Structure 1
Amino acid sequence: MTTNDYAAYIAGLPRVLAGAAALFRDGEGRVLLVEPNYREGWVLPGGTIESDTGETPRQAARRETLEEIGLDVQLGPLLAVDWVHGTGRPPIVAYVYDGGVLSGEQFRAIRLQESELISWKLVEPEDLPTHLLGSLAFRVTSALDALTAGDGARELENGRPVSRPAP
């Protein structure tokens, strides 16, 4: 294969969007959500992975957390990976990492990125479906399930768990 053939092959591959977020909680188990100004609904702190810079999903989640809420937090394990089909856009692969339990001091230190976010709040896990749109509610619930079970990350498609083969 020539260099030109390889470049044409790469250019012809399907496109996939990628994002990463952090799941933060308080001592009572409530989940930190942020309200973006560019779309409806609430989301986890996070955003697009800048793959052109060599950024990894984990690095993106940490960078986006620092940019969006002003906290630089070492992230814990991967909790969920979700393949989300789209209409009028390429599919999205979304990574969710454990951001841990934040202290009162950390919550007081939150500074929103005013160019993107309107507000933040803590939400009880059972109330997440009323705040998160589409497959995001299932993704966050699955990430919480992974935390509780302690048996590894969840593989999801459109927020729904992919069946695991029997051992």
Structure 2
Amino acid sequence: MAGIHITDIEAAINFWRERSPSPDGLSLAAPVRALAQVYALMVYFHETEADEVTLPAEAREAWLAWFDSTPDTPCIAICSTSQGDAVCKGCGRTFDEVQRWTEMSPGEKRVSWRRITLEGDSWRFNRYAERALEQGSPRWSVNVPARVP
């Protein structure tokens, strides 16, 4: 079971706040409220990840709607795992992640996205960054300083 990082909960909250702003400045839309409760508990208990499977139904539904708005794959169509590399030089995924991508859960995919974004050393973040941006990379989902090629 994959853990949903607190930064993904924050991104989902902001996604819903933009789509369902408070009409009076005080009340929260149901998806924001559901995610905010999860977020508050994570902060209170000093947790950085929430279990994907045991999220309350409303929070899981709101998180999945946000997830569906992000690009599915970090692939930039330069796959070095097909040439025998253990980690793809293009996207940064491991051979196993590339092979299992279609069967991975949303949480597992986000764990991979977070890792490759934090590492920031695959070609999608330097040599071919413009290609990744054209494909709608969720680079904003993890605050990583821009790298100089």
Assess same fold via TM > 0.5: no
Structure number having the greater helix percentage: 2
TM-score by length of 1: 0.25
